[in-house]
Structure formats: C-alpha cells, structure tokens
Structure 1
Amino acid sequence: MLTDLRTDHLPAVPAGAVVVVGSGAAGIALATALAGAGRDVVLLESGGDVADPTAVDRGAALNGGTADALPYEGLDVGRARVLGGTTQLWHGQCMRLHPVDLAERSWVPRSGWPLTPQDLDPWYAAAERFLDVSGRGYGEDRWADFPRLAPVPWDGSRLRHDFTEYMRRPYLGTEHRDALAASPHVRVVVEATATRVLLDDAGRAAGVEVALPGGGRAELRAAEVVLAAGTLENARLLQLSDPAGVGLGDGREHTGRYLQDHPIIRTGEVLAPDFRVLQDRYVVLRKDGRRLFPKVRLAPEAQEREQLLDATAVFVHEHDHPGLRAAHELGRAVRARRLPAGALRTAATAATALGPVAHAAYRRAAHGLPLGARPSHVWLQLWVEQAPDPARRVVLDRDRLDPHGQPRARVTWTCDDEELRTTRTMSRWVAEDLERLGVGRVRPLPAQTDDDAWRRTVTDAAHPAGTTRMATTARDGVVGTDLQVHGVPGLSVVGGSVFPTSGYANPTLTVVALALRLAARLLPGA
C-alpha cells in the first residue's frame, strides 16, 4: 500500500506495527526485513513518490540550513527527500569498514566501536546480499579478477590497495518501490514529514507527529519507532522532540555532536610518461557485470606508527574532449534508467567522439578495462577519516524555519590539523613511490604546502556520521549497541548517525548492515 498525503489520509497503524521514519537505505532495508518476517511496518517518507519526476526538486525545499564554519554540501546537495532517499543520488559504492576503523586507537580520541568485526560480519554479509554486492572482499586479492593488470607495487609498510564495489542497481527507491507498495505488511506514506517523536507519560515512545502537506498536524500512534532519516535529520528530530532543543534520553547531551564526514582534497597533479599505467588500473574496472574501483589506502601499521587517521587516495582522470564527457553522462543516465535534460543534444555531442568511444567499448567488453584516451590531467585526490569531535555538531537554528515552520539545522563542520597532516603524509608517500617506481612524479598543488590553501580547498563528501553515536552507556553516546535510545524504550535510531567513527569507507553498506541487525531485534520473539 502506498499513500500520498497530498491526496489521501494517513492510514491506520496496525497493532504492533513499527513506524519507520525515512525511506533511504536504512529505512528500506529495515522495512523489507521486518515485512519479510511478517511484522507490520509504516514507512514514512518526507518527500514524494520516486515515480514522480518532480519529487526530488520539491523535497529539496525542506533541506538546507546554515553552515557556520566551513561550507557543508551535506546540508543540501548531499540529501534527497524522496522514496529511496539519498540512494536516488548516489553511484552505489560499497565497502566494509576496516577492523582498524572499529578499534579503539590511542591516537584517535573517542575512537572505538562497542561492536567487534565479528559482531558485524554476518550483517555485512546480509547487507551484501540485500544490495546485490558480490561479497568477495574489498582488498588486494580483488586484483585476481584482472589478470591482465599487474598492480602497482606500493611500499606495503605504508600503502596498500582497496577496492570499492558498485551496486548494479543502486537506486533503492526505484528498485524496491513496487515490492514495498504490494507488501501486505508495509504501508508506505509519502509527503509525510515527521516533526517530533511522541512519548507517553512513562517516557517511552508512543508514535510520531506528522506535518500534513495542506497544513496542520496528525499523530501516528505506535509503541515502536525507528528514526532512519539520515545523520543530520535523525539528530534534528531528536532535538525537535525536546522542548529545550537538546534531545531525548539519558545521553541527550551528545545529540548532534561528533559530526564527521570524509574531507576530500586534491593535493597534486600526476605527471606520468605513460598515462596508461595509472589509467588502466585506477578508474572503474568491470568484471562479470560488476564494477570495481581500485584505490590506495594507508596501511594500518603506518596509521599506528605515524599516528594518522584512515585515508584513501584516488587518481582522478580528467578528459577535456566534450564528446567523451557526453558519452560518460549518457552512460550514467542509462544505468539510472532516466534520460538527462537535453538527451538528444548530449547524444549528438557524444557522437563527436565515436572513435574513442568505440575503442573504450572494445576495451571494456573484451577485458573490463577503462577508456584508453590520454587524459588532459590526472589529479591525486585524498579522502580522509575524521576523529570524533564534540565541537563539530548539528543544532536547531530557530532563526530559520522550513516550510513546516520547524527550525532548520545549523551545522558546525571543521577540518583540523590531524586531517591536514594525514593527507599531506599520504600524498608525500604516494609521490615518493610513484617516483621510485618510475611511474611519474607529482607536482604539488598549493593545498599540499599552504595551510590556508588546504582549508580553502577541502570539501565534504556528503557522508555525514556520528550525531547520535552508539555507546555502551549514556555517558558516551545517544544509543546503545541495540540502537535503542538510552532511557527511551521503543525508540531506536539507525543510520550513519550512530557510527562512533566512520573510517573512509562509503557508509551505506554499514548502514544497511546495522539496519538488518536492528530488524532481527525488532522481530517478535527476538
């Protein structure tokens, strides 16, 4: 059943149903798992139906806020209010967090998950099945899929290889809409913006308040509520539910704090006598219908030895030929099953590069290799972990209201000396190895040598995490290892917001793993 509140009334909540706020990766995975085991779910989505081509643009009016330190793209362009959530924007890269990311590290304050890799492994495997990821690993051994490519032999005491694997069908709203709408155990409600969590007199969850598109409010009563609305919105909803604007539960003072993202910085241009050495290896590769992206990572022992954060380096190959860029745009549109505006003009531009495109098609079909044309530039670009810092946070901005009259989010996001030192150290090591191996040399950009240039240039990856962090007790976090809010029975939170630390891995696979783990707890008899 799918209800649009612009034209229909809120559906009745079945006895014993779970109300899930948010229909992104976490919400869809959770609803699918619960419904598959026979538990009723009401899945609330603030935005519209993914089948409505205007939904994403309409939902954007509810996003936004103020960034009062560094600019923060995660507030706007990194979020989508629509059935499927931000998965309707992403490319589908998946990777597990590394054991070092979960460990308590003496050189990273407030690090350490209250879950072990062994706790997460079965749920990672379940998430890989749900997302149709091969589950064949993300490390050096994936080079075996490409026997024609000898990996670059980095100094293994400092640098290693990792791979991310792309989902074949990454747009979860598009992929799961019809099944969710047809399920006898799921009631999908779109255009339904949750405005606060309702509590009973005993302080346990009692449902949610929903803003109606035509104005006014309605209440959905339920004894089990899950916030799965994304890192920024999960924190904001807890704050909106507290008249003091702090949060709910025994660990409320942590709500909105410890905001992390993945700072991205270009530190140099790679000048290589043979461009194919890097271009053949460090762009998206294809094998058996799957897409893999090789990357360079910091070795865990190097992180400990030099007291660095986790980080990865990629080589960004830039092509100036407009036909090649147009062909790439069309390829993405085909995978997304939607044509871009001006598709005919884009196709005509792509036709100007028929020779290179045909050559690339042969390389991909025959060997899984990338485009063979010489790039105009190859940039060394780093993604780095952030240490949890309570000063980086999300709060309510009572001076700026959204269309429902609710305070928008105000974000304080900064990048500190440890991120800067990590990116510079890794950049130097990559440059030294490229020169030692005769692959090329790196011409440093100003960000590699000038602190002000680094801070002007760094951006976020729109991978927010940490604002309702998981901890064994309320002294250190908002939710427990079972993802229930400390001191509020019946209220759980799932998503990147519960990550104590976030490594550098794309977060969605871990988000889905945690959602499936939560579903197992919420099943009758669990």
Structure 2
Amino acid sequence: MLVTSDAELPDLSRTDVCVVGGGAAGIALATELAGSGLRVVVLEEGGPTADTAQREAYEVAPGAPPTLGTAGGRRLFLGGNSNHWYGNCRPLDREDFAARPWIPGSGWPITRDDLDPHYRRAQELCGLGDLRTYEPDRVAQALARRHGPALLDSATLETRIEQTTPEFSLAVLHARTLRRSRDVVVLLGVHVTGLERGRCGGVRRVRAVRASGETLTVTARRYVLAAGGIENAKILLASPGVPDGATRDNVGRYFQEHWYYVFDALLPDRDNLRLYHVGRGRHVDELGDRRQRIDGAHVWAQLVLAADVLAEHRLPGLAVWFQDGGAPAALRALKHAPRRPGPLLAAAAGVARRPGHVAGYGARRLLRHPNPSRRLAMIAQIEQVPDPASRLRLTDARDPWGRPHVALDTRLDATQRADHATALRLAGRALGVDGDALASSMQDKYAAGDLGFYFHHTGTTRMGRDPAGSVVDRHCRVHGTDNLYVVGSSVFPTSGTAEPTLTVVALAARLADHLVSLGRVG
C-alpha cells in the first residue's frame, strides 16, 4: 500500500519492521518481506514521482578538501538514487571481502560465499540476467560465436563484466508488489527527525514530520535505516544515545567515495577495446549503444588491476573504461551540462580548446563520413582507502524540518595519491600508453580539482566484528542494540571498484531473510 503525504494514515499499530528510506535498499527489503507475514512500514521522504520529489541528493564537489552539497539535478522520490543512475551492476570481487594487509581497516565480517545466494536474488530484484554472465570466459565464448569484440588479453589488467538494468528504478520494477501488498505500507512525504532510545538499549520509536507539518511517531519491533550512505549516519548522529559507547564514535567515520579522472583522447579506438566502451546509460552516443546482449542481459566491461598486481605493489583498487574523446566528448559535455553558469562555462571552454577538431567532426557528421582516427578518453575510477579521519559531522545549520545539516571532512593524502599514480602507470603501460605521463596528469588534475565523484557514499556505518572499530555486525545490526539495523552502502568496510547498488540490494535480501527468521509480533 502506498500512502501519499496528504492521505489519512492507516493503522500502524503492531508493526514488525519499520524501514527508513524508500531507495534501492528500502524497496528491496520491503519487496522481500512482502508476503512473509511480517507487518512492514516504509518511511520515504519523497513522493511517488519526480513531480512530487521532496529533496535533493548529496553530491561531493572537488576541491582541497572536497565539500558536500546537494546536486541540483538529482531530486529524490520513491526509488531514491535508482531513479538517477545508469543501471550498471556487478558484484564486488572476492578479494574485496578479504583483509588486505596493506589496506588499513579492510576485511568484511562476511565473505563473497556468504553473499552469493543473495547476489542471485539481487539479480532478480534488479531485473538482471544470470549471475554467471559476469564470468569473462562465458562472455568471451559468446562473443567469439558472433565475431563480436574481443576481450583484452593482459597479465596486468583483468576484465570485469558489467550488466545494465533494463529498468533503472526499483520503485517501477516493484510498484505492483508494493501497491498490492497487505503487509507493506509505504508512507510518502515523511521526514524522519530522529530515533528515540528505549530503556534496554534498543530503539523505542521513530520520530518524523509529514509534509503537512503533522508530527508522526512509529513504534515497531525492529527498525532498519535504509536511507543512504550519508543519511543513515546523519540519523544516528542526530539521535542522542543511539547507539552509545565505542560504536557511536565510529558513526560518520570511514567515509569513502569512488573518485574518478577523465583522460581525454588518450588512445585510438581498437577492436579489443570495444567491449570496454559504453554510452552513458540512457544517453546513447552517436555510434549507437555498444553494449552486447548475452544470455538475455545487456553487458559491457571494465578493466581492473589484477589481484596479484595489487598485492605485489600494495595498491588500492583501480578500474578503467573508455568513452569517445576529443570533439564528440566536448560537444556532448556541453549538451548535457547543468544549466548553471559554472558548468556551462567549463563545458564551453572544452569546446573552445579544440576548434579544428570540432569543425572537422562537424564536417564528417554532415557528410556522414567515418572517422578513421577516432580516439578514446579513459575514465579511471579509484578506490579510496578507509580512514577514520574521513568523516561526516553535524553542523549548526538546520533544514526546514529542524534536522541538522552535515559537513564532510575527507581528502586523498599524499600516500594514497602516490599509490593511485602507481596504479595508473601500470594500467597505462598495459594499454600501450605512457604510464608516467598518465600518473603525472593525474597529480595535476588533483591539484586543479579536475576530478569527479560518483554518488557512491560508503563506509559511514561500517560493518565489522568489533564494536570498537565498526557500527554494525555481520547481520547489519547496530552494536549495542537489540532491534536496530542499517543496510546500504554505508555498511561497506571497503568500497572496491564495483558500483555499489547490486551489493546494496544483496545485503537487503540477506537482511530480509534474517528478519523473517526472527519472527513477527505476537
């Protein structure tokens, strides 16, 4: 059942599970719990569609240090960031779950084997194909049969297959289940202001305000924060005494993002790079969509540094892929730039720097003439090392609902930048380009703030065995509480190089199984 912000509230008594957040994690959890016999209430801040969006997503902006603001083009509604992403999915690597001696704070309290059954369920929840389609050998065999693009053969770089969701929004995928379920109530336009601690260390209730200004409290047997990598931590920080002790001091720490650099017109378009080149999700480039359809799934690929290379050089993860460079990229950046002076001027400057290339490209397009010298830009995405000093803090500023804003304190120190430069040297050499020049360009781009961030906020309520260094346990239960859970990218101890959404959905499916095993209100 979906309940809009102006509708009368249904009976919320005897709720088994209260879920805060209606994004990918919250919807996956609610969908998995539908029909389980548990009575579930989901509190979502936004409305049912883009026209009823209530707030904007957090964006990390480059600088020294980076700052945290709101992204003007990413208003949130039911479905959260799954309304705005490019639909690219792959599981974390097995090595991402293991403790890496050269990465402080690495190591999950669960293994890839623990999560594999739930990855299979996550594939279904995201509308994706067979989990085996992530196997490079399987994709290579399918490509060979149709004489498609080859996989890059390199001892330094390994192929990671990506699947792209046919429908991006989990709210759309599971709208029928949510609307028809008698056990799941989704309240829209509800702004959660905090959690109230019970006398025995758990949570007694959730405090919230509806869009109309009406105050609301929800009492349940168990509570799940599924509001995102920043909001989960923000709600805990704004709730006095929940949790307490060493666990509370870890809330908001270990913030990680996927930083990325774009190196323009780096290398020529080659047959063995075609699979690693993809259009931007819904935006298909002028060559058409390069994704391949295999086993019913749309796939493309990224290249990552091999596990033995990372171990030998003691490096964090690096993933690279390609897009059109030169004039096509500059013109596309201008077309899709946010309609604000800063981004528009930056995009226009990119076009102005290459007038000859733009004119030549325009002439070829007009005459429908192929470009035999097409060059590709390389996107390099880096794994940020978890650091307790990289953190979110509450500020004195308040939003219209009386909740504190958050500020970000994070940066890449010199050691991390040196490691990323080494990783780029190795990747560049494996691709046949000047690795030293690539590493030097990265350092220049960092100094100039010429880098970007994906909306992959991780680590702020990290999972671990020891409450002294983590916030939740292997079942996503907050240490020191008996009825409070957190699910989403905020529980990742490390981020790897894979997009987080598939793992977020897998963790939600795993938590659903755990909650069902605990039973319902009598």
Q: TM-score, normalised by structure 2?
A: 0.83
User: Which one is further off, 13-22 or 452-461?
Assistant: 452-461
Computed over aligned residues only, the root mean square deviation of the Cα atoms, in angstroms, reads 3.2
Q: Does 1:90 align with 2:85?
A: yes
Which residue pairs with 2:469 in the alignment? 476
Aligned residues: 476
Deviations 1:229-264 (A, max 9, x none): 001000000011117xx8556511100000001110
Would the alpha carbon gap of residues 509 and 271 (structure 1) be closer, same or farther in structure 2, given more than 3 Å must change?
closer
Amino acid at match of 2:298: R
Would the alpha carbon gap of residues 441 and 278 (structure 1) be closer, same or farther in structure 2, given more than 3 Å must change?
farther
Per-residue deviation at 1:167? 1.1
**Structure 2 residue corresponding to 1:254, chosen from 250, 266, 273:** 250
Contact 2:19 2:26 in 1 (8 A): yes
**SS at the partner of 2:253?**
coil
Contact 2:424 2:439 in 1 (8 A): no
Measure, in 1, the Cα distance between the counterparts of 2:263 and 2:60.
29
Which residue pairs with 1:30 in the alignment? 29
Which residue pairs with 1:407 in the alignment? 404
Amino acid at match of 1:34: L
Deviations 1:90-140 (A, max 9, x none): 111111111111111110001100111211111111111221222124343
Per-residue deviation at 1:428? 2.1
Which residue pairs with 1:505 in the alignment? 498
Measure, in 2, the Cα distance between the counterparts of 1:180 and 1:452.
45
Contact 1:270 1:378 in 2 (8 A): yes
Amino acid at match of 1:253: D
Measure, in 2, the Cα distance between the counterparts of 1:374 and 1:71.
40
Would the alpha carbon gap of residues 204 and 68 (structure 1) be closer, same or farther in structure 2, given more than 3 Å must change?
farther
Measure, in 2, the Cα distance between the counterparts of 1:428 and 1:106.
22
Would the alpha carbon gap of residues 455 and 223 (structure 1) be closer, same or farther in structure 2, given more than 3 Å must change?
farther
Measure, in 2, the Cα distance between the counterparts of 1:239 and 1:319.
46
Which residue pairs with 1:367 in the alignment? none
Which residue pairs with 1:368 in the alignment? none
Per-residue deviation at 1:317? 1.4
Amino acid at match of 1:231: G
Measure, in 1, the Cα distance between the counterparts of 2:494 and 2:437.
30
Contact 2:233 2:251 in 1 (8 A): yes
Which residue pairs with 1:263 in the alignment? 259
**Structure 1 residue corresponding to 2:304, chosen from 297, 300, 315:** 297
Deviations 1:306-353 (A, max 9, x none): 00001101112147469x959x99xxxxxxxxxxxxxxxxxxxxxx99
Amino acid at match of 2:48: D
Contact 1:102 1:117 in 2 (8 A): yes
**Structure 2 residue corresponding to 1:237, chosen from 227, 230, 235:** 235
Would the alpha carbon gap of residues 241 and 521 (structure 1) be closer, same or farther in structure 2, given more than 3 Å must change?
same
Amino acid at match of 2:383: E
**SS at the partner of 2:407?**
strand
Measure, in 1, the Cα distance between the counterparts of 2:63 and 2:91.
32
**SS at the partner of 1:146?**
helix
Which residue pairs with 1:465 in the alignment? 458
Measure, in 2, the Cα distance between the counterparts of 1:195 and 1:210.
5
Would the alpha carbon gap of residues 470 and 433 (structure 1) be closer, same or farther in structure 2, given more than 3 Å must change?
closer
Q: Does 1:285 align with 2:291?
A: yes
Which residue pairs with 1:487 in the alignment? 480
Amino acid at match of 2:12: V
**SS at the partner of 1:475?**
coil
Measure, in 2, the Cα distance between the counterparts of 1:270 and 1:65.
26
Contact 1:105 1:111 in 2 (8 A): yes
Measure, in 2, the Cα distance between the counterparts of 1:446 and 1:172.
39
Which residue pairs with 2:17 in the alignment? 18
Contact 2:13 2:219 in 1 (8 A): no
Which residue pairs with 1:315 in the alignment? 322
**Structure 1 residue corresponding to 2:389, chosen from 357, 368, 391:** 391
Contact 1:208 1:219 in 2 (8 A): yes
Measure, in 2, the Cα distance between the counterparts of 1:209 and 1:454.
43
Q: Does 1:138 align with 2:134?
A: yes
Measure, in 1, the Cα distance between the counterparts of 2:429 and 2:377.
16
Deviations 1:200-233 (A, max 9, x none): 2222222210112232522111121100000100
Per-residue deviation at 1:37? 1.6
**SS at the partner of 1:433?**
helix
Which residue pairs with 1:180 in the alignment? 178
Per-residue deviation at 1:13? 1.5
Measure, in 1, the Cα distance between the counterparts of 2:483 and 2:59.
29
**SS at the partner of 1:76?**
strand
Per-residue deviation at 1:477? 0.7
Per-residue deviation at 1:67? 9.0
Would the alpha carbon gap of residues 225 and 441 (structure 1) be closer, same or farther in structure 2, given more than 3 Å must change?
same
Measure, in 1, the Cα distance between the counterparts of 2:448 and 2:482.
43
Measure, in 2, the Cα distance between the counterparts of 1:446 and 1:257.
29
Contact 2:61 2:68 in 1 (8 A): no
Would the alpha carbon gap of residues 170 and 248 (structure 1) be closer, same or farther in structure 2, given more than 3 Å must change?
farther
Measure, in 2, the Cα distance between the counterparts of 1:126 and 1:280.
26
Contact 1:263 1:459 in 2 (8 A): yes
Would the alpha carbon gap of residues 219 and 434 (structure 1) be closer, same or farther in structure 2, given more than 3 Å must change?
closer
Deviations 1:347-404 (A, max 9, x none): xxxxx99x989x9xxxxxxxxxxxx866865212211111110111111111x21111
Contact 1:384 1:422 in 2 (8 A): no
Amino acid at match of 2:222: E
Measure, in 2, the Cα distance between the counterparts of 1:317 and 1:293.
15
Which residue pairs with 2:284 in the alignment? none
Per-residue deviation at 1:59? 1.9
Per-residue deviation at 1:265? 1.3
Measure, in 2, the Cα distance between the counterparts of 1:74 and 1:500.
24
Measure, in 2, the Cα distance between the counterparts of 1:122 and 1:307.
31
**SS at the partner of 2:161?**
strand
**Structure 2 residue corresponding to 1:108, chosen from 103, 112, 137:** 103
Contact 1:384 1:419 in 2 (8 A): no
**SS at the partner of 1:42?**
strand
Measure, in 1, the Cα distance between the counterparts of 2:458 and 2:489.
5
Deviations 1:452-507 (A, max 9, x none): 74562232211010000111121111111111111111111000011111101100
**SS at the partner of 1:234?**
helix
Identity %: 32
Contact 1:470 1:481 in 2 (8 A): yes
User: Which one is further off, 424-433 or 73-82?
Assistant: 73-82
